[in-house]
Copies of this chain bind each other. A is one copy, B any other.
Amino acid sequence: MQRFCTLAFVLGLILMVFGLTYIFPIATSLYFDDGMTNHFLRGMSINIGAGGILAASTMRFRGDLKTRDGYLLVAFFWLLMASAATLPLLWGIPGLSFTDAFFETMSGFTTTGATVLVGLDQLAPSLNLWRHELNWIGGLGIIVLAVAILPLLGVGGMQLYKAEIPGPVKDSKITPRITQTARLLWLVYVGYTLLCIICLYLAGMGWLDAICHAFSTLSLGGFSSHDASIGYYNSPAIELVITIFMLLSGMNFATHYTALHHASIKPYFLDPEAIPMLGLVAGSILLCAFYIWHFDVFPDFFTGLRYVSFNTVSVATGTGYSSTDYAKWPAFIPWLILFLSGIVPCTGSTGGGIKMFRALLLWKQAGRELFSILHPRAVNPVRIGNTPIANQIIFAVLAFIFLYFISVVVMTFTLMFTGMDPVTAISAVMACINNTGPGMGSVGPAANYAHLNDFQTWICAITMLLGRLEVFTLVVLFTPAFWRK
């Protein structure tokens, strides 16, 4: 019982703090006089009130959070936040169902960036800011999840990253570690966000758009305040700024912290993921640029390169902006970049999917196995950087990939079972589980998820959360072993 009280206490506190963030849409609503002020004020009161009651009523029964409570904490964190955040949308957008509102907020918090709303350009500015803020807050949560919680839980080989950030915490209490790690990395995240806002403003965006898009860039969320996404601006400068910040956000924030702390770029070379990630993205851009040049989609090579670069970085990092309807390009490119979104984002970034380190580890393990069927007795450990990786971690990574793959298959067939066409189904699942956003077919970059029926919408929302919590964290809650004493 005590663990549930502790959990409820922490969640109550989080809800209260979350309530404070309503201040930004309130200010926006007041400034633009868009009539949403009361909705946000009401939402704020309910959040702070409900959070306060939850925290106050469980306070005297609380203890320390133990490792295993981490699973419940993160699952309920995302579910609770997404539910709470629906209120302003439900009040502000007449006719919006709870299913669609929940999809939108879950898409926000998981930084998926898929939307069920049409007519974003006509949406009240404060509601648009709200959507982008959800992206940004989701990013805050993901950094903590990736750098502090998952390594502690040992999900999918993340125990590799246990000692990444130096700290005094050696026992299994989860709270101090979160606090300390969060402080350092959030500083980087906030700093980069401010920098991105300024750059976007200088590149020609208005202040509100600059804030909104900086929020969804740093979080790799990919929400936009325009139906045409970044294509709305048709500005190479804006595309360049966003491209750079998407690449930065696709890297490990711990590496950014170390690099800034030591004022050195060496940490990027020591990071086993950064260079392969940049290399893979650069190689894919070149390949696609020549490919699209061959098909004469754009008047010249460099125009093609511009569009290929932006959309490749956007989709491959799992952001999901588009600067044109790339689904109309020869199918090889959109499918390649959608596939890349599963492996390009690095651990400790705000991206999703399998992640670069697991893809690297898997690749090396396959090579080791190829070698070992020729030399069965040779000892040949898998290394990432210079570190030999224990079999236990390789197993965890392989199991993660397998569970991820099962999830893709099961969710795709579930969507097809509801009558969805195969192209839309598989791409929607890839786009949701990788927290990318736009898929192909009827959920492509020029379309959205609005036409899905309720059941399909819920399946997609669950898939986003599944991807965000690295599958295991959520699936483990449904095992009897978890609930046994």
Contact = CB atoms under 8 A, between A and B. Distances in A.
A315 to B, nearest CB: 15
Given A154-B376, A409-B339, A423-B422, A472 B370 contact: yes
Interface size class of A (residues with CB under 8 A): 35 or more
Interface stretch (A130-138, A185-193, A411-419): A411-419
A155 interface: yes
Interface stretch (A87-95, A101-109, A398-406): A398-406
A365 interface: yes
A366 interface: yes
A386 interface: no
Nearest to A332: B416
Interface stretch (A160-168, A246-254, A266-274, A476-484): A476-484
A143 to B, nearest CB: 21
Interface in A85-143: none
Contact of A153 (B291, B373, B375): B373
A373 B402 contact: no
A475 interface: yes
A373 B374 CA distance: 33
Interface string A51-86: 000000000000000001000000000000000000
A395 interface: yes
Contacts of A153: 373
Nearest to A409: B339
B370 A416 contact: no
Question: What is the count of identical protomers in the complex?
Answer: 2
Given A291-B417, A330-B419, A398-B398, A406 B366 contact: yes
Contacts of A422: 331, 335, 423, 440
Contacts of A373: 153-155, 396, 472, 476
A418 to B, nearest CB: 8
A369 to B, nearest CB: 3
Interface in A403-457: 403, 405-406, 409, 413, 416-417, 419, 421-423, 440
A476 B370 contact: yes
A264 interface: no
A366 B476 CA distance: 11
Interface string A383-403: 000000001001110111111
B403 A331 contact: no
14 contacts: A68-B374, A154-B373, A291-B417, A330-B419, A332-B416, A335-B422, A365-B398, A369-B395, A369-B396, A369-B400, A370-B403, A370-B481, A373-B396, A374-B481
